[in-house]
Chains A and B, each alone.
Chain A
């Protein structure tokens, strides 16, 4: 699996957009970028995933660069409840076993 790197922490003002970067420069052509978040004391929660096109759902938007070496998760209007650790992982969806490993993620603090 492609290794991902994320900043350890970020702050964002409540109501503003939170832009969380992820570097995955060794990603291969069949690997998707997945984002999860973990709110304190809870299990991680799936947010969104994409291959090369930008994606949007009710939780967030995912912007993937044209060369696919990096991506940004965007929370358009951050709320205090978005304070969490955000994990970016790169995985193939081609089937068969792959170890799903999580790095240390980005701790996002939304500030009132």
Chain B
């Protein structure tokens, strides 16, 4: 596609359920980032992928959060046993070159945990 695609755009789930959020980066982009944005807050870095490896997972808030990337393309962010404080917009961005500051963002996945 022309841009970064994220799905689902909206997800409502019950506390304790697992959720998967998907990111399709721009074709050929080697770097991929996940961010979280709570209501009225700034962007919180979660994890960075270079190819399929994640050299920086320092932003993942707990062991309930995990992410993977396959084929150097699609990435999935998984949240296990969701809590209400996980409610936020999860944003994915890709970049054609590792370490370059020009990121292309998707429109985000809005997660609501009831």
Would A43 and B93 count as touching, CB distance under 8 A? Answer: yes
User: Which residues of A line the B interface, CB within 8 A?
Assistant: 32, 34, 36, 42-46, 49, 87, 89, 91-105
Which residue on chain B has the smallest CB distance to residue A96? B99
* 29 A/B residue pairs, CB under 8 Å, sorted by A: A34-B102, A42-B107, A43-B91, A43-B93, A43-B106, A43-B107, A43-B108, A45-B105, A46-B103, A49-B102, A91-B99, A91-B101, A92-B99, A93-B100, A93-B101, A95-B100, A96-B99, A97-B99, A99-B45, A99-B48, A100-B33, A100-B48, A100-B103, A101-B45, A102-B35, A102-B43, A102-B45, A104-B41, A105-B42
Q: How long is the Cα–Cα vector from A93 to B31 in the complex, in angstroms?
A: 14
Number of interface residues of B (CB under 8 A): 26
B104 proximal to A (CB < 8 A): yes
Q: Judging by beta carbons under 8 Å apart, are A97 and B50 in contact?
A: yes
- B interface secondary structure, majority: loop
How many Å from the CB of B101 to the closest CB on chain A?
A: 4
Q: Which of B99, B103, B104, B106 contacts A94 (CB 8 A)?
A: B99
Q: A100 contacts B50, CB within 8 Å?
A: no
A45 and chain B: residue at smallest CB distance? B105
With both chains docked as a complex, state the minimum distance between the C-beta of A106 and any C-beta of chain B, in angstroms. 11
Most buried by B among A32, A94, A97, A105: A97
How far is B41's CA from A104's CA once the two chains are assembled, in angstroms? 7
Q: Are B48 and A43 touching (Cβ within 8 A)?
A: no
Which residues from chain B contact A99 at a C-beta distance below 8 Å? 45, 48, 56, 58
